[in-house]
Amino acid sequence: MINAILLKAQEYGIRTFEFVEYCTSKYCACHGVEVERRMKGAVSCPGGLHGDLNGALNILRKAANKTVPAIKKSLSFIVDHNRVTPKEGCNP
């Protein structure tokens, strides 16, 4: 799978590299403090990031030396036959 992704990226001229994901969500990407994962992937930090998003942001910071200035609250939608509607109570 990794080789297929690397070949397709190379075909489109996208630089790629492998990065070990172990312990990437150990520290909060926004505050730099050590965090613990709670149920459903949330991390114990005031930012309330999902553990996978936190890990991805840490990989971005370590590997590409880039940070995301602000993280917007994710929106929730309900997908029904041929239409998408906002989920009540979850969207600002």
For 24-74, the pLDDT digits (tens) are: 888 888 888 888 777 666 677 766 677 888 888 888 888 888 888 777 766
Q: What is the pLDDT of residue 12?
A: 95
Strands (E), 1-92: 77-80, 83-86
Whether 43 and 37 have beta carbons less than 8 Å apart is answered as yes
Whether 82 and 75 have beta carbons less than 8 Å apart is answered as no
pTM as predicted:
0.62
Q: What is the pLDDT of residue 47?
A: 65
Whether 62 and 23 have beta carbons less than 8 Å apart is answered as no
